[in-house]
Structure 1
């Protein structure tokens, strides 16, 4: 997520030009902070994908895809010197999933990566299909660039091992007790209003983007139908030209324009899907935002439990000091059964309670500090996330609009060409 103070060092999505090559570059160079953290020290690329066959954990044969990660120093190579060869290693998609699971235990928003099920149904969704693999490769590269641009996550030891250690065993690092504790059932008595509002915001953002993607899918369906109808025009004109003498050439040319126009829809929708991927990324970002809220709830819950335990111990000390016996307490029942405790026993208990209270106060202080630090870092990152979101989505939507305008102009041009063909008949 880009810091607002480093606008001059940000690589921005989207240009006003919509040529296929530059559009692809726009997609790959999704906005990231180029001047901070790990990206200032090294270049990171997911260069290619490769299909492999091997045995899985249950000793069954499977075919899967691995992705080649390349890293190299970011320093400029002096003229005349040979650039340093990049360090490379292969990672499976499941390795990227493990990395993200680990990163989500931190109080920071980190980028999700492309998931298979969110694909327009007329495009490839098979995870071994070359087009799908290429889209996933772009998404995974963007994921690494997002994390590497983060001022804190980029310095994480596990992330660095992921990029550099070929034989590093990733799983043990990611099996963290915090992950398990996040799924525990707990109820916070005094929830922080800021995080309650943040959770509501993430739910609303998820709903809005989901609706936008559904509308886009409906439009894509209709657009696909319109383009394919032009293919019918092309077939009719071509068949008609076969029975005409004077009009034959004009009809044949018009049919050719219609066929070309109809065939272009597949490439158009593939390009459009790349822009939709940027919306889907923020759809999955909402899960990361909710994860931050759950983490805060856990910390707040632990803080409340420590505070409650400390209050209970202080009440015990007060009762022991004043000699108050609560009938329905364990102490009250013990006194009735075994008689009053001696002065030495009471002083020993008082000393133990004093020690326990001091430890509880220290623990409460630590928990308070942990909670305050979490709130500070989380709020900073939420603001960074919102600024990044505004820039990214604005650029993606503008690029999408420009692409639609360009597509409409091509349609007008096709019919203008057809009109010229008809005029020459």
Structure 2
């Protein structure tokens, strides 16, 4: 088993090695086609020693099982920003690529995303020690749970309110960026393919030129190659788009932490409100005055006041209830403070991870674009120079 305080990834190699299409009946006894993913795990020590790697343990999981695992982690660790899953359905996809959920390219990208999800969870200092996660990776039958709640607090924490607004803005910005990328990819595809006309024209031109014929023919072949290269370029870009999508889903994970804080804050406010109501009842019972209209007060006026003995019994019960209420408020207040402390520590960790990952992704994207342009136009320059020289 996993040792406390030790990241699971330090003790186990985790890979999602392949995907397989299957057909079967769902919960309503209807035929459906779905995809399963093969998870392979092996002890990391055997690999590090340099010997023959151990035969990996394997099991198949559906995407829905990954969803259950993440839902369980959201409930069990509400103060942690849970890594997101890759998209279940193809979104923000350049329309020349298939949006079919069973398309091999989409399934492969999702396989990579699921592996990345497991690696992020298994390397997290807290999540990696979870027993259910270990069972998910090693046992065919793992039981997971889910939970959701909706509520409204009176005095929300400004820090978490700002964080929720930031996560919503991050979601909006990345979604807009992905939409722009789709439009740019579509237009770029058209521009590249139009260059195929240059290839045809250069080839026809070469037939009537004696001295420049070979150079024009070569330039025409290059333009054909240039027109065809857009497919590889856009496929390479999908990798960077997937990295942006991961943080699109991370924004949902941040909002989940904010919602859990609201739930704890709501429970604290309800406990404090209940305590205040009981203290008011005690004061009214002790003084014999009723500040607000109540059925109990009207009954007393109609049928007479309670006896001293009855009032003492009620007063004692209220005092006991107040002591329990004060203990409850203290407990909820401690829980809220602990949640803020642990959650904010993980939020700071997430911010550093986000800044690092997005910086690397955007720099790598720029380098890829520069490299592609140099490769394509550098070769074109040499060919066109040979034509005019």
Given the superposition, is the C-alpha separation of residues 121 and 157 from structure 1 closer, same or farther in structure 2, using an over 3 Å criterion?
same
Deviation larger for 65-74 or 96-105: 96-105
Given the superposition, is the C-alpha separation of residues 53 and 244 from structure 1 closer, same or farther in structure 2, using an over 3 Å criterion?
farther
Q: CA deviation at 1:304?
A: 0.4
Of the three residues 347, 350, 371, the one matched with 1:406 is: 371
Q: 1:25 — aligned with what?
A: none
Q: 1:63 — aligned with what?
A: 33
Q: 1:138 — aligned with what?
A: 112
Question: Distance in 2 between the 1:382 and 1:113 partners?
Answer: 18
Q: 2:230 — aligned with what?
A: 265
- Are 1:102 and 2:76 counterparts? no
Given the superposition, is the C-alpha separation of residues 59 and 334 from structure 1 closer, same or farther in structure 2, using an over 3 Å criterion?
same
Q: CA deviation at 1:219?
A: 2.6
SS at match of 2:23: strand
Q: Unaligned 5+ residue runs, structure 1? A: 1-34
Q: 1:112 — aligned with what?
A: 84
- Are 1:294 and 2:247 counterparts? no
Q: 1:46 — aligned with what?
A: 16
1:296-315 matches, within 5 Å, as 296-315=261-280
Q: 2:334 — aligned with what?
A: 369
Aligned residues of 2:39 and 2:60 also touching (Cα < 8 A): yes
Of the three residues 173, 177, 197, the one matched with 1:212 is: 177
Q: Unaligned 5+ residue runs, structure 2? A: none
Q: 1:174 — aligned with what?
A: 145
Q: CA deviation at 1:196?
A: 1.2
Q: CA deviation at 1:253?
A: 2.1
Aligned residues of 2:15 and 2:41 also touching (Cα < 8 A): yes
Question: Distance in 2 between the 1:49 and 1:234 partners?
Answer: 40
Aligned residues of 2:94 and 2:186 also touching (Cα < 8 A): no
SS at match of 2:152: coil
CA offsets per residue over residues 109-131 of structure 1, 9 Å max, x none? Answer: 11212212232222222111111
Aligned residues of 1:236 and 1:255 also touching (Cα < 8 A): yes
Given the superposition, is the C-alpha separation of residues 80 and 96 from structure 1 closer, same or farther in structure 2, using an over 3 Å criterion?
closer
Q: Give the aligned length.
A: 381
Q: CA deviation at 1:92?
A: 0.7
CA offsets per residue over residues 156-204 of structure 1, 9 Å max, x none? Answer: 2222221111133x4xx223xxx232xx2x3211111111111122122
Q: 1:27 — aligned with what?
A: none
Aligned residues of 1:198 and 1:293 also touching (Cα < 8 A): yes
Of the three residues 115, 125, 131, the one matched with 1:151 is: 125
- Are 1:197 and 2:173 counterparts? no
Aligned residues of 1:257 and 1:417 also touching (Cα < 8 A): no
TM-score by length of 2: 0.92
Question: Distance in 1 between the 2:157 and 2:40 partners?
Answer: 42
TM-score by length of 1: 0.84
